[in-house]
Structure 1
Amino acid sequence: MRNVSRETFTVVPMNEVACAQQESSRSNSDRVYRGSAHGKIILMGEHSAVYAKPAIVLPLSEASITATVTDMETECLDSSGVRLDCEYYVGKLSKAPENLRNIQELVVVLRNDFSIDGGISISITSSIPRERGMGSSAAVAVAIIRACAAYAHYSLTPDELFHYTQISENIAHAHASGMDAVAVSAESAIWFQQGEEVSTLHFSTPAVLVAADTGVTGATKEAVSDVHRLLYEDDDVVRNRAHRDIERLADLSIAAKRALQENDMTSLGAHMNEAQEILSTLTVSSGELDSLIQTARGAGALGAKLTGGGRGGCMIALARDKAHAHSIITALESAGAVRTWTVNLTSPSK
């Protein structure tokens, strides 16, 4: 959705320009309804979570998405009754490109269920990079849902928020696990296992997690497909090893949970390093990820691994404290990381 620095541009017809000017010139008295969501980081459990194994997911508050909903004059709309302004497209929602079909379908449902009859304009601003395993598509959905609910004065329940988010996610990703739908609206770390009730994790440590973007788009779909292929390989040795790797990743999620709750960062770092070796064996790492991971370890990180689907995207490194995190960030940026974020490893109970 809209970043500070745009990588793509859309040519907007003159009538759309006029509508945009009309929207920007509204009186300050016009009401703007907002909804927001944040990114997410998978600490442990990539790929094994696909097979109903546990994962630990952290909120990434430094990266967020905001959606705003305002009234719109009908001459700027078509039968959909909605105008969209985002990084990839500006114009009538019904004419948006295929990669925004999840938003098209979601908004149709929301307008019906929330009884939104008039014309509206939805504007989306984001600092979550797309296709990096940070939950950008789910965060967009959550932000839009919350903004539309506010506009309609609709009291939204957590179950409804999840339900509507999954409508969008199942179009964007097909058979979405629900991890991102939960994680991008959670304020605490979550323990996620597909088919089980999601629970929050509570811990307090001085450690800081550093996340760094390789600048290379991840390839989650291909990575998941290749791991699936290994698990059903005709070669017994290859197949059995892949099954052992998935089970070990599940064990490491459990061990990481214990380390967080016991404030044992040395063990957590070791678990992260072992998980990275397994993910490499499962062929989901990449040269860019490996390079930043080695850089972080060279800067003294207690552990480092990829996060998300892999084959590009982001990596994470465990720092002892904020000062140590700063030195790791300096090393990662010198090694080519295009952006970095930090996550305090504190997850308070409400």
Structure 2
Amino acid sequence: MSNNAEKITFTSIARELGVTTSVVSRVMKNNSTTISIGRETKKKILTMAWERGLQLNRNIGLIASGRDEISTFYHPAAAGILERCGELGFGIFSGHYKEESNAEIPEFLLKRSIGGIISFDNIPKKIKAFLAEENIPCVVMNPSINPLSEDCILFNDYENMMELLLYLSEKRYKSYIYISSDSRIHYSQMVMKSFSDFLKKGSFEGQILTSTPSRELEILALLEKLVRNSTSDTVFITPARFFTMKILEFFSKHGKRLPKDGGVVGCSLLADYYIPKLTTIYYPFYEMGVTAVDMLKDKWKTRQFNIKSRIILGRLIKNEST
């Protein structure tokens, strides 16, 4: 948008609300003098600007927790975001925070250098409140908790796990062991519910091992014992890299062979690096990133903040480890 067109838009909003064009400009650009403008006036300006389609830029901000910038941009979802933004001519900013309770609002948000946010996981309360006050739309990818509280993109975790378990039952497995690294997150809750529902429906044995930092050694000792005693009708399932490697280490240590002495379903990132290759569930994070950009684009077009979610389908990959 040219400066002239931008000024006219500011002027029309100012005329309708009975304020000066300077006031509208200061609110929209959120500069150092915005603080002197009353909260109610600011809210009216931001609401009207959003409803009338005023958009200062087509930039997207990425935020993530507990990771440095390099690791975030190597994430497959980030690749999808970057490539889709490149196709659409959108700019990219990035920011990180260490803890939910101390999450600082990124500079690019304070200066309104972006028109929307994509978050890796849930948005901290402080940042979420700022987005709501400033009428800045957001999309959350794969939230750990309470996914219905915000616009988000999820995988079909329950259905993916049920498909896997039905496939394993056709392979004549009777004893199922699922290893989770965190039972608090939404993904684990959906997978464990699917696992429990499956066991209730059939005449199978099964158990869930949930690891925490304080229980890791205990879980590893139990897991090694289970591997040592495994038979051809036992299958171990874990999405975690660490536990995938430990299970395979224990198989080797105790002279076990896949799938003769038990099956393994492991982390998709490691599936192709072992012989035999591992059965796994592939999660298309790249597609999730592309979808997140398209959701923001739709929000800009429709000027809607409706809470909704989109489901990305995972894919069962059958290999020789089961």
TM bin, normalised by shorter chain, reads under 0.3
Q: Which has the higher contact order (CA 8 A, sep 6+)?
A: 1
TM-score, normalising length: structure 1: 0.24
Decide which structure has the larger Cα Rg and report it. Answer: 2
More helix by share: 2
More strand by share: 1
TM-score, normalising length: structure 2: 0.26
